[in-house]
Structure 1
Amino acid sequence: MTRSRSLRLLDPLRALEVLTALWSTAAVAPISSGAAAAYRTLFITVRRLVAGRRLAIRLDEGELTLTVTEFDSRLDIRGLSVGQLTDVRLAARDIRWNDSVFNHATAVLHNLHIRPAAPPVVVAAPVDLTLEVPAAALDDLFRWAAPRLSGEVADDGIARLRLARRPRMGHLEVDARLDGSTLRLTPNGIVLGRSRWRLPAHTPAYRVQLPELPHGLRLTEVEFAPKVVRLSGTLPEWRMAMPRTRLEEILNQLSAVGVPLNLTRLPRLL
């Protein structure tokens, strides 16, 4: 299928030409108003093409669909002149990753910048991530890690553990805390029938060993909110090679309505 170029891509493509010339001749990031204007044009174009849209994205690991709710950065002309976009914040809702569904996610790419190279490399360090997982995932976790227990997070945002085979017997109300790769669930209350008792602060915690996460991603916090489990994590560094031809292809795909964004075989340098 042949894609026609929209008129709104003409300026971004001129910006790409400027940046390509600078990348090919600079041993370090160039300092110029032309580079700043080119980076700003590209960023604003991408933001206009994705913000508020429902996107389907093809990745090597599967297909991702989401609605982008935020794509923003405090652009600084002096920083842009050397390819520095400072911090970029992304947010999305109604996320489907293969067979998994998530409520909401955010990513803050700190110190996002572009290194002139062959091809240029996009770098952010660190990257802070949050993901809101439907409360049913807590029960799935216990089916995997502790089959004798079941878990839930109700409308009040309180996490409860029950005996899987005797759910009506009562439940424990628990708080969550991370200890390295171990999730500590500490009971703070017990409910039997209509009676509730508060447990002492030194009540032993139930420990769940979490699986190792890819690419050095480190889980930093687990919180409970109404009907969701909110996970926060940090990736020390994220890098991706971005040849001009691939960037131009991405812009063309985003400008076409109903065309999935294909990011398969895009070289990553994690």
Structure 2
Amino acid sequence: MSDGRWFDGWSPWPELAGLAAAGRSLLPNVPVTPAALARTVTEQLVGRRLTAKVGDREVGLTLAELDYPADSLRLATGRLGDVRIVADDVDWPESEEDGGSIPLRRVAVIAEDVRLRSLPTPAAIPARVRLEIAVSADVLRERVATVRPGIVAAPAGNGLLRIHWAKRPHWGHLTLRPQVAADAVVLVPQTLHIGQKTLRAPKRFQPIELPLPELPPGTRLTKVEPRHDELVLHAVAEEWPERLSRIPLADLLSWLTTAAMTLTLPKLGTRP
């Protein structure tokens, strides 16, 4: 059965037919089924530079990926699966006191096991929402130098970081393992490398605490992962599944189409 005929006939969620009609009024010259409309909007958004409002500040980002199994059969049976949204080159604002921004290499939002609910209004309900926030090694280096002047830091592989004294790099280096604290990333000394020797880090080397960037509301940092040339923060968005479940599908579609036409991400709220 074609996309077009599926929603003309029986569907366990008849409101989806109205969703397609709403999409046609927003983008008049595109296919009318929700699945086809979603694919069309995705093609218009991916690769484009967008702006979003965070508080009273504008945040720039480039949408790199919007991946979801959007076919009419999944929509009709109410199980969409995992949805992955990736933005590159995000200018994330610092705290209001600082007023600056921290350049994020990549932000990935993964909504797991998304299901469609029919009543009381059609809505999307993810089982869990995770975030992966990647910053470049340059940002890491600047953050460490701010709290420990004269120290140079870089990812070392195997989940570790390493630091050395800028004035005496040939003296060796110290490896550290990042751990998550309440409001900071703590770099705990592990081993001291001098020439060919590897020693346990002396107790006089104190952990380095890096203040966290201001994360989106309702998120909890769970893991810090150093990679070859970046540092990845893993977080769980604990409040997002419930919030998304209160947003009607028609509003989600309107949000996507508005973004496609204006290249501005409007505020995604709920209906009164």
TM range (shorter): 0.5 to 0.7
Q: Which amino acid aligns with 2:50?
A: A
Q: Counterpart in 2 of 1:215?
A: 217
Q: Counterpart in 2 of 1:55?
A: 49
Q: Counterpart in 2 of 1:111?
A: 113
Identity of aligned residues (%): 22
Residues 68 and 84, structure 2, Cα contact 8 Å, conserved in 1? yes
Q: How does 1:143-222 map to 2 (within 5 A)?
A: 146-147=147-148, 150-153=151-154, 159-162=161-164, 171-178=173-180, 183-191=185-193, 195-200=195-200, 206=207, 208=209, 213-222=215-224
How far does residue 109 in structure 1 lie from its aligned partner after superposition?
0.8
Residues 73 and 89, structure 1, Cα contact 8 Å, conserved in 2? yes
In 1: Cα distance, 2:177 partner to 2:150 partner: 16
Of residues 252, 256, 266, the one that matches 1:263 is 266
Q: How does 1:28-177 map to 2 (within 5 A)?
A: 38-51=33-46, 53-61=47-55, 62-75=57-70, 77-98=72-93, 99-116=101-118, 120-142=122-144, 146-147=147-148, 150-153=151-154, 159-162=161-164, 171-177=173-179
SS at match of 2:269: coil
CA distances 1:42-68 after superposition (whole Å, capped 9, x unpaired):
3222222222x2221221433233333
Q: How does 1:4-43 map to 2 (within 5 A)?
A: 18-20=17-19, 38-43=33-38
Task: Return the TM-score normalized by structure 2.
Answer: 0.65
Q: Counterpart in 2 of 1:8?
A: none
Residues 135 and 230, structure 2, Cα contact 8 Å, conserved in 1? yes
In 2: Cα distance, 1:149 partner to 1:79 partner: 56
Q: Gapped runs of 5+ residues in structure 1?
A: 1-13, 24-36
Residues 222 and 230, structure 1, Cα contact 8 Å, conserved in 2? yes
In 2: Cα distance, 1:155 partner to 1:175 partner: 10
RMSD: 4.2
In 1: Cα distance, 2:21 partner to 2:115 partner: 15
Q: Counterpart in 2 of 1:5?
A: none
How far does residue 106 in structure 1 lie from its aligned partner after superposition?
1.9
Residues 69 and 93, structure 1, Cα contact 8 Å, conserved in 2? yes
Q: Which amino acid aligns with 1:232?
A: H
Change (3 A) 1:21 1:249: closer
Q: Counterpart in 2 of 1:30?
A: none
SS at match of 2:231: strand
Change (3 A) 1:47 1:202: farther
CA distances 1:100-143 after superposition (whole Å, capped 9, x unpaired):
21222322111224444677544323112112102233345446
Query: How many residues align structurally?
Result: 235
Q: Counterpart in 2 of 1:6?
A: none
Q: Which amino acid aligns with 1:254?
A: A
Change (3 A) 1:17 1:214: closer
In 1: Cα distance, 2:110 partner to 2:154 partner: 27
CA distances 1:198-237 after superposition (whole Å, capped 9, x unpaired):
2349978726376585533122221212331111111134
